[in-house]
Structure 1
Amino acid sequence: MKLLHKDIEKDNAGQVTLMPEEAEDMWHTYNLLQVGDSLRASTIRKVQTESPTGSVGSSRVRTTLTLSVETIDFDSQACQLRVKGTNIEENQYVKMGAYHTIELELNRKFTLAKKSWDSVVLDRIEQACDATQKADVAAVVMQEGLANLVLVTPAMTLLRAKVEVTIPRKRKGSCTQHEKALERFYEAVMQAILRHINFDVVKCILVASPGFVRDQFITYLFKEAVRQDNKILLENRPKFILVHSSSGHKYSLKEILSDPTVTSRLSDTKAAGEVKALEDFYKMLQHEPDRAFYGLAHVEKAADALAIDTLLISDKLFRHQDVPMRSRYVRLVDNVRDNGGNVRTDSAEWSSCHLAVSHCRPIRG
């Protein structure tokens, strides 16, 4: 994400102009938008035209609209963001008050105005525009005939490629068709890795599967790398880590990242920090329950007692449409930070826990 302009007054009202540059930026934008905000962006509008003879036609024109946001729809698989609202500025093609849906696009700027920019949304902008916040973990979750290649960021998982190849069963006396189909499958997965993984940024690639599919694939991958003299794959061989998964579907990724043998190998990556923080909370809840809390009332009590060392909070809570409730969460975060505590804002995609405190001094009464 690129920050092009920022104009926020002392009363926290104002606007920012941003340009999303990659798919994950749409996720950040989704978390910035709230009902009631003002969004100005380029869009396509179908308009009716009437010729001098009286015949009516229609055409699609590109124009810039400013909407009062009413509905926000985010497709996490395609990383597409659609915003519906009413037009609040004069426009030659769209009447004041008319409804329109803007689909935000990569590399097209937009301006977002709010009546109040709180600390959480400002932190989100800083995070989104930080060049170091990039996906440094990739994973290939596979089974025979199916592979999902994803990039893992602290905020979300980005599906970059899905490979599906029909693998015939082995037949008695002949395995030729089965082996040929497997080879086509492994070749397609190899090409997906070369196309979608930036080895200069990614620190490790998890290859996960049930059974021996991952081992057979890695054998094929590096046999082909030697045959083709593919220096990128050969130089980055140590980055590949083989792990077990229950299936080749994307949902198995959470199970993989919770594996202790994996988290130890990923200790210097950003995504591992999110997983470890949640694991630490569950361990503390089990072994030292006086130092772990969850639920808004209990967490607020711990914050008022200045007892919080680490607060875990889901970004889902900051999309709450009840403004007073959202403000309550923001005040909680500010309170913890002002008193020297750590705040980890995790994605709801990762965490089943929405609000919790870890490493808290015991509170009595």
Structure 2
Amino acid sequence: MKLLHKDIEKDNAGQVTLVPDEAEDMWHTYNLLQVGDSLRASTIRKVQTESSTGSVGSSRVRTTLTLCVETIDFDSQACQLRVKGTNIQENQYVKMGAYHTIELELNRKFTLAKKVWDSVVLDRIEQACDPAQKADVAAVVMQEGLANIVLVTPAMTLLRAKVEVTIPRKRKGSCAQHEKALERFYEAVMQGILRHINFDVVKCVLVGSPGFVKDQFISHLFKEAVRQDNKVLLENRPKFMLVHSSSGHKYSLKEILSDPAVTSRLSDTKAAGEVKALEDFYKMLQHEPDRAFYGLAHVEKASDALAIDILLISDQLFRWVSGSRVTRRPPPLHFPMKMTINIKCLSLWKQIIQRKKKKNISPLAIKSQESPIFYSSYLLRWNRSAEGLWTVLPLQIVLAEFVSWCLTITAVGWY
């Protein structure tokens, strides 16, 4: 993403002009857009014309429109973004108030204007325009006959290719058909890797599968690389890392990224950090349930009690609450200035968390398909005097409303 122009006033109103230059930038743009924003971009409009003889014809013309955004549709597989709204600026082809749908295109600039730009949106623009924030991790999740080639970016996971080949079963006395099908499958995966993985950017390629499929594939991959004298694969052989996964489906990427060996190898990537934060939350939820909670009401109570140590937030929080667009920051994000909170905004929540694990939390977590906010690992601290702190104690959230009364008692301490 390139930032061409930025004009934000002191009251946080203003506009920015951006140019998306890769597919992931459409995801960033999707998270920037809100209903009521003003979007100006180049688009195609079908226009009807009438000749002097009275005959009516139609043609498609390229023009620039400014829309008041009403509907935002994002296709995560194709990384396509369509924005529907009404025209709010005079145009020779489109009347004021007429509806139009703009499909944003790569390498074509657009201007986005908002009445209020909050810090979360501005941070996302800064992240999207940072050239260092690229897809430095690739993964091949496979099983016999199925492989998913995925790029793990700082903001999302991109499915670049899905390889499916029918593998016949081994027959008694003859395995020729089975072996030939496996070779075709491995060759298709190899071509997918060469086509979709940029080894100049990618630091690590994770190859995960159940059983020995990954080992057989890597053996075939580099055997063919030697035979074909493929220097790209041979020079980047140290980047390949074999890990275990329970299946070849995309959701198994979560297992791969949570593997301790992978975490240490990818310690400098955002994806590994997010997975570790979620794993810590699940462990605490299992072993110390009085210190791990989630849900909007609990976060509000913990915030009022100054009881939050680590706050995990899905970036979906800034898009939807109860099915409608967020127009302002929700109450849990307004913390007292004296609180010190470690806040982690998770962008891979939808892509890497298995539905099965989400269902195991509680009905509250799946009240909506995207439970937007939860927090973990909180500690309560009381200021006894200006000289120091009281003993740090974990406390169940049901006692959070009791804290304010406890603070008035100076003669009793909890140890």
Query: 1:227-238 alignment to 2 at 5 Å?
Result: 227-238=227-238
Q: Is the 8 A contact 1:142 1:248 kept in 2?
A: yes
The change in CA–CA distance for 1:321 and 1:361 in structure 2 (over 3 A counts) is: closer
User: Secondary structure at the residue paired with 1:327?
Assistant: coil
Letter of the structure 1 residue corresponding to residue 150 of structure 2: V
Deviates more, 1:296-305 or 1:70-79: 296-305
Give the Cα–Cα distance (whole angstroms) in 2 for the partners of residues 20 and 51 of structure 1: 39
Alpha-carbon separation, structure 1, partners of 2:2 and 2:343: 24
Q: Indicate whether 1:50 and 2:68 are aligned.
A: no
The answer for the alignment partner of 1:123 in structure 2 is 123
Work out whether residues 319 and 326 of structure 2, in 8 Å CA contact, stay in contact via their aligned partners in 1.
Answer: no
In the alignment, the residues of structure 2 paired with residue 178 and residue 25 of structure 1 have an alpha-carbon distance, to the nearest angstrom, of: 42
Which residue in 2 is equivalent to 1:354?
372
Find the aligned partners of 1:218 and 1:357 in 2 and give their Cα distance: 40
Provide closer, same or farther for how the CA distance between residues 44 and 298 of structure 1 changes in structure 2, counting only shifts above 3 A.
same
Number of matched residues? 364
CA distance in 1: counterparts of 2:248 and 2:208, whole angstroms: 8
Aligned partner of residue 251 in structure 1, secondary structure: helix
Structure 1 pair 38/321, CA: closer, same or farther in 2 (3 Å)? farther
- Quickly say closer, same or farther: Cα 1:271–1:338, change in 2 above 3 A: farther
Tell me the secondary structure at the aligned position of residue 205 of structure 1: strand
Deviations 1:5-55 (A, max 9, x none): 111111111111111111111111111111111111111111111122211
Tell me, in whole angstroms, the C-alpha distance in 2 between the residues paired with 1:13 and 1:115: 5
Asked if the contact 2:308–2:377 (Cα under 8 Å) also holds between the matched residues in 1, the reply is: yes
Moved more, 272-281 or 306-315: 306-315
- Contact 1:3 / 1:18 at 8 angstroms: preserved in 2? yes
Q: Residues 98-149 of structure 1, C-alpha deviation per residue, up to 9 Å, x if partnerless?
A: 1111111111111111111111111111111111211121111112222110
- Per-residue displacement from partner, 1:54-113 (whole Å, max 9, x unpaired)? 111111111111111111001111111111111111111111111111111111111111
Return the letter of the residue paired with 1:327: R
1:151 Cα deviation after fit:
0.3
Residues 318 and 329 in structure 2, CA contact (< 8 A), matched pair in contact too: no
2:219 aligns with: 219
> Is this contact kept in 2: 1:311–1:336, CA < 8 A?
no
For the pair shown, the structure with the greater C-alpha radius of gyration is 2
Ranges in structure 2 where 5+ consecutive residues have no aligned partner: 359-370, 381-394, 403-415
2:200: which partner in 1? 200
Deviation at residue 227 of structure 1 after TM alignment: 1.9
Superposition deviation, residue 189 in structure 1: 1.0
Q: Name which structure has the greater RCO, CA cutoff 8 Å, separation 6+.
A: 1
Q: What is aligned with 1:296?
A: 296
Note the C-alpha offset of 1:164.
Answer: 2.1
In structure 2, the CA distance between the partners of 1:324 and 1:240, relative to structure 1 (3 Å rule), is closer
Structure 2 partner of 1:327:
328
Q: Which residue in the other structure is 2:256 paired with? A: 256
Matches of 1:176 and 1:288, distance apart in 2: 54
- Look up the match of 1:282: 282
**Pair 1:282–1:170, CA change in 2 (3 A):** closer
Percent identity of paired positions between Structure 1 and Structure 2: 83
Indicate how the Cα distance of structure 1 residues 22 and 339 shifts in structure 2: closer, same or farther if over 3 A, else same: farther
Q: CA deviation at 1:306?
A: 4.1
Aligned pair in 2 of structure 1 residues 304, 123: CA closer, same or farther (>3 Å)?
A: farther
Cα displacement (A) at 1:240: 1.5
How far apart are residue 170 of structure 1 and its match? 3.0
Contact 2:35 2:325 in 1 (8 A): no
**Farther-moved stretch of structure 1 (273-282 vs 286-295):** 286-295
Q: CA deviation at 1:288?
A: 3.7
Alignment partners' CA distance in 2, 1:106 and 1:235:
32
Contact 1:337 1:343 in 2 (8 A): no
TM-score by length of 1: 0.92
TM-score normalised according to structure 2 size = 0.81
Q: Find the counterpart in structure 2 of residue 155 from structure 1.
A: 155
Q: CA deviation at 1:220?
A: 0.2
Partner of 1:140: 140
- 2:173 paired residue number: 173
